[in-house]
Amino acid sequence: MLETPKGLRLHIGIFGRRNSGKSTLMNALIGQSVSIVSDQPGTTTDPVEKTFELAPLGPVVFIDTAGLDDEGDLGALRIEKTRQVLERVDVALVVVDAGGMTATERDLMATLRAANTPFAIVFNKSDLGEPPAEQLAQLAAEAIETVSISAATGRGIDRVKEALFRQAPESSIEDPRLVGDLIGPGDLVVLVVPIDLGAPKGRLILPQVQTMRDILDSDAVGLMVKERELAAALARMSDKPRLVVCDSQVVNKVSADTPPDIRMTTFSILMARFKGDMIGLAEGAGAISRLKPGDKVLIAEACSHHALADDIGRVKIPRWLRQYAGGNLDIEVRSGKDFPEDLSSYALIVQCGGCTVTRKQILVRQYRAAQQGVPMTNYGMAISVSQGVIERALECFPAALDAYRRGMAGSAR
Amino acid sequence: MLETPKGLRLHIGIFGRRNSGKSTLMNALIGQSVSIVSDQPGTTTDPVEKTFELAPLGPVVFIDTAGLDDEGDLGALRIEKTRQVLERVDVALVVVDAGGMTATERDLMATLRAANTPFAIVFNKSDLGEPPAEQLAQLAAEAIETVSISAATGRGIDRVKEALFRQAPESSIEDPRLVGDLIGPGDLVVLVVPIDLGAPKGRLILPQVQTMRDILDSDAVGLMVKERELAAALARMSDKPRLVVCDSQVVNKVSADTPPDIRMTTFSILMARFKGDMIGLAEGAGAISRLKPGDKVLIAEACSHHALADDIGRVKIPRWLRQYAGGNLDIEVRSGKDFPEDLSSYALIVQCGGCTVTRKQILVRQYRAAQQGVPMTNYGMAISVSQGVIERALECFPAALDAYRRGMAGSAR
């Protein structure tokens, strides 16, 4: 974390009029953070910058600026400095006090838009009164994200963080490797790919292609084989493969055909890391063992695909979960962007692999679930649990295996 | 050919008024064909069907129908039978005599369109006069393909065939295997994939994915490796691979690193077969050796991509061809759909791999070139010629290797 060069960190600007509560908001955001990396005090005219770790965005730089309505000569200089900050932030929070927006905020929004800088409007001091309804309606009509908070009492600070994650550019979240960190140059990696009726004609699915590419990028060698040919292929090899990766559908057969001294995992588990926070999803998978009859479970599909007869999310996973719970469950399926604000009634959330959404979107969902103390896992982890191979599939990710066991025990992280 | 079930053959209907020259056209088309497979005479009311091989479409069924303007009771029955034919043809030729179209042809066109049946208008008897200019203009405005011919003298019959190929549904042309027919169950196939700056981030290019998929579909095993790791990977294998396939860019290194008793070819050569008639393209590749200074060469790009600094079609291939010719060449580059009608001035045509176009589109171009006696090859074959490895790369395709040698000798096929 300390090694991330400052230029690569996400820069978050906090803008607004004097006394709107910018500094209080920054302190509230930082107050909840794990660690303050640096604290560089500003001069009377320089914006204050604070660098710290804001999971899941990683290290960020918060820039607290002078009020945009500052008066006098010194004020003009401060405003000029603030305008300079506008040019170097990746995402902005516009803080508005209880009275509502004025021409100053409207000007600022126009400047941010012209610069293509994403932003959210933070109505502060909600303890003193709600924001003007017509302004909220107008902003909603313009598809601008708004959050109503009280920086002083701490109310809604988590919502500000969630807004930041949502507005942050995709590029601010580093794509983790798929397998590159598990293998070395010259290593042999076996990819087991079932070709069933669901496989697209003449193609391979994207996780298979991406994994193979990451193997080549690691100067390693990838062997691709159907599950039926795996045992014969392994028997004929003079070298032991470094890793076997298989489709979740065939994890049982592949686990049986792969000697126990060879590490094995699934594409879904690799994708859980690539498309989300694997540790959290593994901990959520542990919670499956704690399901009780009558529990409410949310199945979240990122896309509203045409459901097949034995649809994984709508049929197979609910059936497995009921078997685990030893009785009926109250299962709710939500598709597309329909992910509830209030998750507190759910005992578990099972998210799809997220092939049509970005890593950030999954991370935002995981953040919301974590804030509300609701375990969240995904299809691939749930399948490995149901097949009894999750512990083996997580062996090459010790931190995730620990998290899974923590999730089973039900203890807090 | 005789084994193709009749139901799978392309059905081509010939429609028109009486005496428009339908039967003469069918006979002219068949007269040029390699072999008449069957000749089933019609009754007075039944349409005449003839099955024969129409390269490159393969076996087709021609259905010669009764005139749509037939009169009397028997005529009504014949018209009814003709309407039934409309329902089962895959593509139609509407034959119009020298006088031009009437309401009958307009009705027929509306029926064909309603049934989503592709068709071309054949203005026959061009020896007696040209088709009405305003009708040609109107049809062109409607993007309907027209051909002006004389079935009696044979003038334009090749143009009718080309129109048929163009209008025929893609599905009427069988996709050949990429490698499936070269390998057997359990075989090991090595795919050598360079990862350079041109490779798309985190992906593999489509020919690599399609080849791997065809390997899996053949119950074989595919090993993917970068060219740098190939020698070490081959040395560590207990089994000899059945085939090594490499990117054309690294064919020289791969040829050197692959022991001579292992068959080797390139993705481009596999794609030449998948996306065109490999035999013809190999024969065209042979013609490269016969280029002389001053010869005119057409470089045909299927898409108008942004040309790179060392663009393969615009820079590298022209440079190689000039080296072969031992002097300057008159090189013309055409992009997109801009493929000349008259090819007779060219000594050679070099077509791109055609990744953005269909197999049929390449076959239609090859047909036109063959009709005009102009050698045509593609980028992949040309690269292998320039690297001096074409003979090795064609070893697993003996007919193509023969064609290449024929092309070098300059003898007719």
pLDDT of A33 strictly over 60: no
CATH hierarchy code of domain B180-262: 3.40.50.11420
- Taking 50 as the threshold, does the pLDDT of residue A160 lie above it? yes
Band (B74; pLDDT cuts 50, 70, 90): low
DSSP state string for B358-383? -HHHHHHHHHHHHHTT--EEEHHHHH
A241 touches chain B (CB under 8 A): no
Q: Determine the pLDDT at residue B119.
A: 94
- Same CATH topology for B6-172 and B276-409: the answer is yes
Instruction: Indicate if the alpha-carbon torsion angle B262, B268, B272, B278 is positive or negative.
Output: negative
- Cβ-contact B85, B93 below 8 angstroms: no
Q: How far is Cα B115 from Cα B104, in angstroms, rounded to an integer?
A: 17
Q: Which of A121, A129, A115 is nearest to A83 (CA)?
A: A115
Q: How confident is the model at residue A71 (pLDDT cuts 50, 70, 90)?
A: low
Contact check, Cβ <8 Å, B238/A233: no
In the 3-class helix/strand/coil scheme, how is B317-332 assigned residue by residue?
Answer: HHHHHHHHHCCCCEEE
Q: Which residues of chain B have a CB within 8 Å of the CB of A225?
A: 216, 221-222
Q: How far is B373 from chain A (nearest CA, A)?
A: 34
pLDDT-derived band at B228, boundaries 50, 70, 90? very high
Give tens-digit pLDDT for A315-338. Answer: 889 999 999 899 999 999 998 878
Q: What pLDDT, in 10s, does the model give residues B349-368?
A: 999 887 777 788 888 899 88
| Closest by CA position to B335, among listed B316, B318, B314, B319 | B314
Q: How far is B119 from chain A (nearest CA, A)?
A: 29
Tell me the percentage of chain A whose pLDDT exceeds 90: 45
For B292-334, the pLDDT digits (tens) are 999 999 999 877 665 555 678 888 899 999 998 999 999 999 9
Backbone angles phi, psi at A51, to 5 degrees: -105, 125
Average pLDDT over every residue of A52-77: 75
- Find chain A residues with C-beta within 8 A of B220's C-beta: 229
Is residue B18 within 8 Å of residue B91, measured between CB atoms?
Answer: no
Mutate to test the interface with A, among B201, B213, B227, B274 (most CBs of A within 10 A): B213
* C-alpha distance from B85 to closest chain A C-alpha (Å): 32
Give me the residues of A, 294-323, that contact B with CB < 8 A.
none
State residue B73's pLDDT score. Answer: 67
pLDDT of residue A187: 95
Query: Quick check: B42 pLDDT over 90?
Result: no
Q: What is the pLDDT of residue B285?
A: 96
Q: Is B81 helix (H, G, I), strand (E, B) or coil?
A: helix
Q: Which two tokens stand for residue A82?
A: 């603030």
The arithmetic mean of pLDDT across residues B248-276, rounded, is 91
Chain mean pLDDT for chain B: 85
Domain locations along chain A: 6-172, 180-262, 279-409
Per-residue model confidence (pLDDT) at position B200: 76
Which one, of B176, B213, B206, lies nearest residue B356 by Cα?
B206
pLDDT of residue A171 exceeding 80: no
- Cβ <8 Å between A203 and B210: yes
pLDDT at A301: 87
**Structural contact between residues B322 and B347, judged by C-beta atoms closer than 8 angstroms:** no
Kindly report the nearest CA distance between residue B225 and chain A, in angstroms.
Answer: 5
Q: From the DSSP assignment, how many helices (H) and strands (E) are in chain B? A: 15, 15
Fold of A279-409: Rossmann fold (3.40.50)
Q: Which residues of B touch A226 (CB under 8 A)?
A: 216, 219
Of A216, A223, A226, the CB nearest to B193: A216
Query: How do residues A118-135 score in pLDDT, each as one tens digit?
Result: 999 999 988 888 889 999
Give the helix ranges, DSSP H, for A308-411: 317-325, 359-371, 379-386, 390-393, 398-409
**Least confident stretch, A186-200, A390-404, B372-386:** A186-200
pLDDT for position B38: 44
**Confidence band of B401 (pLDDT split at 50, 70, 90):** very high
**A202's tokens:** 């003449």
Digit-coded pLDDT (tens) for A190-221: 999 998 766 778 889 888 999 999 999 999 99
Which letter does DSSP use for residue B126 in this model? T
What rounded mean pLDDT belongs to chain A? 85
Q: Is A229 on the interface with B (CB under 8 A)?
A: yes
> Who among B195, B209, B213 is closest to A216 (CB)?
B195
Domain boundaries B6-172, CATH class:
alpha beta
Q: What is the pLDDT of residue B306?
A: 58
Q: Tell whether B234 is within 8 A of chain A (Cβ).
A: no
Q: Which CATH number fits domain B276-409: 3.40.50.11410, 3.20.20.70, 3.40.50.300, 3.10.20.340?
A: 3.40.50.11410
Q: What pLDDT, in 10s, does the model give residues B194-203?
A: 987 667 788 8
Strand B58-64 vs strand B91-96: parallel, antiparallel, or unpaired?
unpaired
